[in-house]
């Protein structure tokens, strides 16, 4: 590949300490931008349920109170949005995907892929391997406080090692599927897997 042309007069303003923690093409932000395809839904926890689905059957279903009673995990992670911002050391609390499977009595995931379904019709696809072994949770708290609606509250998926659109907001259902199928952004020009360290932003990256 050709070397990219040098942009005359362009100099880095980045701190050296940031360099190793930022995936290629990302910049550091200290606030928390909001990116969504449409309006933010208003969801009352009294009406909220989340389900784990295989084909036509439910493997598990939890009301808000039932979900809150599941084992809680806390993690501090860097998050990376495909629109180029990265935020360091974000603190989340919720139920790990492993604990959710355990609560549903599922010892072995029944297929290799899932589709996450959300309020507002948004979907995103993920390999199960990227959700298990402590790699993902359903988050209900950010920095110790209930997750704000604009950031996906009351509950969102959190898969911090992939671009942040994979951490679907307003999660309602996780459906196991035998084959990989593209979700919402994945059918609209964005990469199917979305690894920020390999800069998999768009189709074909």
Structure token pair of residue 171: 């999660």
Q: Which stretch binds other proteins (CB under 8 A): 57-65, 66-74, 90-98, 194-202?
A: 194-202
Determine the Cα–Cα distance for residues 29 and 88; give it in Å rounded to an integer: 8
Does residue number 47 form part of the binding site for other proteins (CB under 8 A)? no
Which of 38, 56, 105, 144 is the binder for other proteins (CB under 8 A)? 38
185 binds other proteins (CB under 8 A): yes
Q: Does 120 bind other proteins (CB under 8 A)?
A: yes
Q: Which CA distances in Å does 83 have to 36, 65, 170?
A: 11, 35, 20
Q: Closer CB to other proteins, residue 38 or residue 56?
A: 38
The token duo for 167 is: 């951490």
By CB under 8 A, tell whether 92 contacts other proteins.
no
| Calpha distance 144→199 (Å, rounded) | 30
Binding mask 64-83 for other proteins (x = CB under 8 A): -------------------x
Q: Where are the alpha helices (DSSP H) in 69-205?
A: 97-103
Query: Which listed range, 52-60, 133-141, 163-171, 177-185, lies at the site for other proteins (CB under 8 A)?
Result: 177-185
Tell whether residue 107 is a contact of other proteins (CB under 8 A): no
Q: Quick count: other Cβ atoms within 10 Å of Cβ 57?
A: 6
| Binding flag, residue 85, other proteins (CB under 8 A) | yes
Compare residues 9 and 144 and give the one whose CB is closer to other proteins. 9
User: What span, in angstroms and rounded, lies between the C-alpha atoms of 120 and 37?
Assistant: 9
Residue choice 71, 133, 189, 197 for contact with other proteins (CB under 8 A): 189
The alpha carbon dihedral of 134, 47, 56, 124 has a sign of: negative
CA distance 39 to 109: 33
Q: Does 20 bind other proteins (CB under 8 A)?
A: no
* Cα Rg of the chain (Å, integer): 18
Q: H-helix or E-strand containing 137?
A: strand 137-142
Nearer to other proteins, 5 or 144 (CB): 5
Interacting residues toward other proteins by CB under 8 A: 4-14, 24-25, 27, 29-31, 33-42, 83-85, 112-113, 120-121, 127, 129-130, 150, 179-180, 182, 184-185, 187-189, 192-193, 200-205
């Amino acid at each position: 590949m050709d070397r990219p042309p040098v942009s005359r007069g362009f100099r880095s303003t980045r701190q050296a300490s940031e360099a190793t923690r930022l995936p290629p093409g990302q910049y550091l932000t200290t606030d928390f931008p909001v990116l969504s395809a449409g309006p933010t839904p208003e969801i009352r926890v009294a009406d909220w349920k989340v389900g784990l689905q295989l084909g036509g059957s439910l493997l598990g279903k939890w009301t808000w109170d039932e979900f809150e009673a599941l084992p809680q995990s806390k993690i501090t992670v860097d998050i990376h949005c495909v629109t180029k911002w990265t935020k360091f050391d974000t603190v989340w609390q919720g139920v790990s995907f492993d604990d959710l499977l355990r609560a549903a009595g599922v010892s072995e995931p029944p297929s290799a892929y899932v589709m996450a379904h959300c309020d507002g019709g948004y979907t995103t696809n993920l390999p199960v391997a990227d959700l298990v072994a402590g790699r993902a949770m359903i988050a209900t708290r950010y920095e110790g406080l209930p997750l704000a609606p604009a950031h996906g509250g009351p509950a969102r998926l959190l898969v911090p090692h992939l671009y942040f659109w994979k951490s679907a907001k307003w999660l309602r259902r996780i459906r196991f599927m035998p084959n990989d199928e593209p979700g919402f952004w994945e059918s609209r020009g964005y990469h199917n897997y979305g690894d920020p360290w390999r800069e998999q932003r768009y189709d074909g990256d």
